[in-house]
Amino acid sequence: MNLRLQQLQHETRRQFLRNVGQFSLGAIAMEALGARRLRAAPGTPVNPLAARPPHYAPKAKRILYLHMSGGPPHLDLFDYKPELVRRDGQLAPDAFIAGRKFAFTTGTPRLMGTRRTFSQHGAAGIWMSDAVPNFHGLADELCVIKSMNSDQFNHAPAELLLFTGSPRQGRPSMGSWVTYGLGSENENLPGFVVLVSSGVQPSGGQALWGTGFLPSVFQGVQCRSRGDPVLYVSDPPGMSRALRRQTLDALRSLNELQAAELGHPETATRIAQYELAFRMQASVPEVMDIGREPAAVLEAYGAKPGEASFANNCVLARRLLEQGVRFVQLFDWGWDFHGTTPATGIEDGLTQKMRRTDRPVAALIRDLRQRGLLDDTLVVWGGEFGRTPFREGRTAESDVLGRDHYPDAFSLFLAGAGVKRGCSYGETDELGFSVVKDKVHVHDLQATLLHLLGFDHTRLSFRFQGRDFRLTDVHGEVVKDILA
Instruction: Give the Cα separation of 400 and 406 in Å (integer).
Output: 19
Q: What is the pLDDT of residue 190?
A: 87
Closest CA to 266 of 218, 310, 322, 324: 218
456: confidence class by pLDDT, cuts 50, 70, 90: very high
The alpha-carbon radius of gyration of the chain (Å, integer) is 25
Residue 440: Cβ-neighbour burial (10 angstroms; 0-12, 13-18, 19+):
buried
* The one-letter amino acid at 253: S
Residue 34: which pLDDT band, with cuts at 50, 70 and 90? very low
Band (21; pLDDT cuts 50, 70, 90)? very low
Summarised one tens digit per residue, pLDDT across range 57-71 is 999 999 999 999 999
Residue 39 is predicted with a pLDDT of 33
pLDDT at 258: 74
Q: How confident is the model at residue 335 (pLDDT cuts 50, 70, 90)?
A: very high
pLDDT at 255: 73
Residues 476, 479, 480, CA angle at the centre, nearest 5°? 135
Question: Which residue stretches of 302-374 are H helix?
Answer: 310-322, 348-370
Statement: residue 195 has pLDDT above 80: yes
> Could you give the domains of the chain?
3-38 (no CATH), 62-229+288-482 (3.40.720.10)
Q: How confident is the model at residue 79 (pLDDT cuts 50, 70, 90)?
A: very high
Q: How far apart are CA 315 and CA 311, in angstroms?
A: 7
Looking at residue 109, its amino acid is: P
CA distances from residue 6 to 1, 9, 12, 16, 20 in whole angstroms, order as listed: 8, 5, 12, 14, 17
Phi, psi for 268 (deg, rounded to 5): -65, -35
Q: Give Cβ neighbours of residue 484 (< 8 Å, ≥ 6 apart).
A: 59, 418, 419, 420, 421
What's the pLDDT at 44?
A: 45
| Average pLDDT rounded to a whole number, residues 144-165 | 97
Looking at mean pLDDT, say which of 112-121, 185-194, 219-228 comes out highest: 112-121
At residue 139, does pLDDT exceed 70? yes
Instruction: Count the neighbouring beta carbons within 10 Å of the beta carbon of residue 294.
Output: 8
The predicted model scores a pTM of: 0.84
pLDDT tens across 229-268, in order?
A: 555 556 667 666 676 666 666 767 777 777 777 667 667 6
What is the tens place of the pLDDT at every residue in 436-445? Answer: 999 999 999 9
Q: What is the pLDDT of residues 375-396, one digit of tens each?
A: 999 999 999 999 999 999 999 9
Closest alpha carbon to 334 in 155, 111, 147: 155
- Nearest-angstrom CA–CA distance, 92 and 406: 14
Contact call for residues 399 and 107 (beta carbons, < 8 A): no
> Is 317 within 8 Å of 364 (Cβ atoms)?
yes
Average pLDDT for the chain = 87
